[in-house]
Every structure is written in C-alpha cells, then in structure tokens.
C-alpha cells in the first residue's frame, strides 16, 4: 500500500500539464479554423468579382466552340476511318506474311507444287494490290487531317485578329466620343454667344413694355400683346412687335455659321380657364395655334422654316400659381427661346 500511494503521488503532477497542453492545442485548432474561414471568405469575394469577366470569356469561348465543334466531329470521323484502315492494313500484312511463308514452303517441295505456287503468287499479288489501295487511302486521310489542322489554325488566327480589331474599334469609338463631346460643347458655347447677342439686340429694338419680359434664356410676350382673347390671329400691335423680331432674326441668320444647328422655338401657353370657343376645344389647341401663327408670320417675313419650331403647352406650364386675374394674365404668354436643334 505504501508503494501504491507513492506511485499516485508521483503521477499527480503530470495531469495539470496535460490539461494545459490540450487547452493550448484546442486554442491553436480554433485559431487555424478562424484563419481558414477568413481565407475562404476572401477567396469567395475574389471569385465573385471574377464572375463578370468569366461571363465575357464564356461568350467568346462559346463562339469558338461552335466553330471547333464541326472540325472536331470531322476529325473524329477521319480518325475512326484511319484506325479502321490501319487495322485492315495490318490484317493484309499478316495475310501477306502467311502467303510468303506458304510460298517458301511450297518452293521447298519441288516442281510438283508448281500449280499451287502459281495460285499463291496470284493471291499474293491481289493482297499487295489491296495493301497499296489501303496505303493510298491512309495517305489521303492524312492529307485531309493536315488540311483540317491548317483550317483550324486559320480560324484561330482570324479569331485573334477579330478580337484585336474589336479592341481597336472600342478605342477609336471612345476617342470619337470624346471628340464629338468636345465639338458639341464648342458649338453650344458658340450658340450661347450668339444667343446673348440676339437677346441684347432684342432688348434694344423691342418696345420697353412691362408685358414683354426676359425670363432666364427666354423672351416672354404676354398673350394680350399679340392676340385678342381666345383668338390665334396676330393683332396689329402683335404684328408690329413680330416685325422687329423678324428683322433681328434675319441679321442673326447671317451671323451664325452654317455648321451650328439652331432654332428659334416659339412656345404657346394659356391659363387654366375653360374655353368657350367654336374653333378651339381645349387650351392645348389654342396655345399650339398661337405658336404656329407666330411661326407662320416670321416665315412670311423671310425667316427660314429650318430655324423655326412651334410648340403648344396649354395651361400645363404656368409661371404663376393661383386663380387671380394677375396670375392668369401672367400665364397667358408666348415664349421665344434660341436653342440648338
């Protein structure tokens, strides 16, 4: 019993060390699992980012696969024929070897086997002819295979050239787009310069009336200046104002270069009151008819119709809110805007 107690006392100190070692090993395993999970997460993100590039590559590979499929099927048939012909040739060679062996055996028997030798010689000649035919077919198949390989090489070269042309075209298109945007910006700047000069000229030649305003990049005429109420025919005062506008436009047509595509847009607007007119059923029709009346008058004064646009907005683009007479009068208007076509 003393010896047993001594052994338990000697083994007891090792157990805490063993537990510590197992705990450290468990921590190492948990750390390795965490590293593995992080690596898997990063790898998944990298793979998902490559899906779009793989999609493009798949579409290109699909086109090449369609071209190669026919060639592969033809090559497979040729390989099968070549294998069959090779087997036939080997069989013919074996038969030829057997005939030669038989011929040698018959020769050793003497002249009594002459007829047999003649028959064997004839059979040997026939087998040689068959072997020659088989060899010619094998050569033909080899030539066909070589031609197919050359065609595959040409298709691959054409595909590479097409991809290169595609990349070059994309570069050229991007360059052309930049040039076009630059040219358009320049034309817009030039048109803005002429617009400013045109509006400045209009401010000088048009009468200084409170019902003719400049709002942003537009000249605004109150409808009462140009038209009777509910009517689309220019009155005398309106024709006088439009004559001044026509003179300014004629001078503008001479100054703006032909490569700048510009138009004078005439927009008709009304208030929201319901019409009581046998001619116009809606405010939209009235606003469009008034804009067209201005355009026709300007054209009659010699302005090119290529530089005129008429548009009707009805009561749907008001300047002032409310139902007061002042707001309605402000919304009944003709707007002139010099803009690009």
43 domain-assigned? no
- Claim to verify: residue 221 and residue 264 sit in the same structural domain: yes
18 domain-assigned? no
Q: What is the pLDDT of residue 151?
A: 79
Q: What is the largest CA-CA distance in the chain?
A: 142
| 3-class DSSP assignment, residue 281 | coil
- Claim to verify: residue 248 and residue 313 sit in the same structural domain: yes
- Claim to verify: residue 70 and residue 161 sit in the same structural domain: yes
- Claim to verify: residue 142 and residue 234 sit in the same structural domain: no
- Claim to verify: residue 172 and residue 256 sit in the same structural domain: no
39 domain-assigned? no
**Which tokens belong to 198?**
């045109």
| 3-class DSSP assignment, residue 260 | coil
- Claim to verify: residue 249 and residue 152 sit in the same structural domain: no
DSSP code at position 111: G
- Claim to verify: residue 101 and residue 148 sit in the same structural domain: yes
Q: What is the pLDDT of residue 299?
A: 97
Residue 329 CB neighbour total at 10 angstroms: 15
Q: Domain range holding 108?
A: 55-177
270 domain-assigned? yes
- Claim to verify: residue 251 and residue 145 sit in the same structural domain: no
Task: Give the residue from 159, 177, 195 where a domain finishes.
Answer: 177
Q: How many CA atoms lie within 13 A of 270 on its CB side?
A: 26
pLDDT tens-place values along the chain, 341 residues long: 454 555 555 555 667 777 788 888 888 888 888 887 887 777 777 767 666 666 777 777 777 777 777 777 777 777 777 787 788 778 878 887 887 777 777 666 655 555 666 776 777 777 677 777 777 777 777 787 788 778 777 887 877 777 777 677 676 666 666 665 655 555 556 657 776 776 666 666 565 566 678 777 788 999 999 999 899 999 999 999 899 889 988 988 888 888 888 899 999 999 999 998 899 999 999 999 999 999 999 999 999 999 999 999 999 999 999 999 999 999 999 999 988 88
45 domain-assigned? no
- Claim to verify: residue 323 and residue 233 sit in the same structural domain: yes
11 domain-assigned? no
- Claim to verify: residue 142 and residue 105 sit in the same structural domain: yes
- Claim to verify: residue 212 and residue 328 sit in the same structural domain: yes
Q: Which residue in 339, 340, 337, 341 sits closest to 245, CA to CA?
A: 337
Number of domains in the chain: 2
162 domain-assigned? yes
- Claim to verify: residue 72 and residue 139 sit in the same structural domain: yes
Sign of CA dihedral 111, 112, 115, 119: negative
**Which tokens belong to 44?**
């998944």
195 domain-assigned? no
**Domain containing residue 321: CATH number:** 3.30.1330.60
Sign of CA dihedral 278, 283, 285, 289: positive
């Amino acid at each position: 019993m003393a010896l047993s107690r001594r052994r338990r006392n000697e083994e007891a100190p090792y157990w805490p060390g063993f537990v510590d070692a197992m705990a450290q090993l468990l921590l190492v395993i948990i750390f390795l699992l965490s590293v593995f999970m992080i690596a898997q997460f990063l790898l998944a993100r990298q793979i998902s980012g490559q899906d779009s590039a793989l999609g493009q590559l798949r579409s290109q590979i699909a086109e090449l696969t369609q071209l190669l499929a026919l060639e592969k099927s033809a090559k497979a048939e040729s390989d099968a024929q070549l294998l069959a012909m090779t087997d036939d040739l080997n069989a013919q060679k074996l038969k030829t070897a057997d005939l030669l062996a038989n011929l040698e055996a018959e020769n050793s028997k003497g002249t009594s086997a002459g007829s047999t030798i003649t028959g064997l010689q004839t059979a040997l000649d026939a087998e040689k002819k068959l072997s020659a035919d088989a060899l010619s077919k094998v050569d033909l198949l080899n030539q066909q295979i070589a031609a197919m390989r050359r065609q595959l090489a040409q298709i691959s070269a054409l595909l590479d050239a097409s991809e290169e042309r595609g990349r070059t075209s994309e570069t050229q298109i991007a360059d052309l787009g930049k040039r076009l945007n630059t040219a358009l910006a320049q034309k817009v700047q030039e048109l803005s310069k002429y617009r400013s000069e045109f509006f400045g000229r209009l401010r000088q030649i048009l009468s200084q009336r409170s019902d003719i305003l400049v709002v942003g990049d537009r000249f605004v005429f109150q409808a009462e200046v140009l038209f009777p109420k509910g009517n689309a025919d220019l009155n005398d005062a309106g024709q006088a104002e439009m004559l001044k506008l026509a003179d300014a436009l004629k001078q503008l047509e001479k100054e703006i270069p032909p490569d700048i595509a510009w138009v004078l847009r005439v927009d008709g607007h009304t208030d929201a009151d319901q019409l009581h007119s046998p001619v116009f059923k809606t405010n939209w029709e009235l606003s469009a008819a008034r804009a067209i009346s201005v355009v026709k008058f300007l054209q009659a004064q010699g302005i090119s119709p290529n530089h005129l646009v008429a548009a009707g907005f009805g009561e749907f683009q008001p300047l002032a809110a409310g139902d007061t007479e002042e707001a309605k009068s402000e919304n009944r208007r003709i707007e002139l805007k010099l803009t690009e076509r």
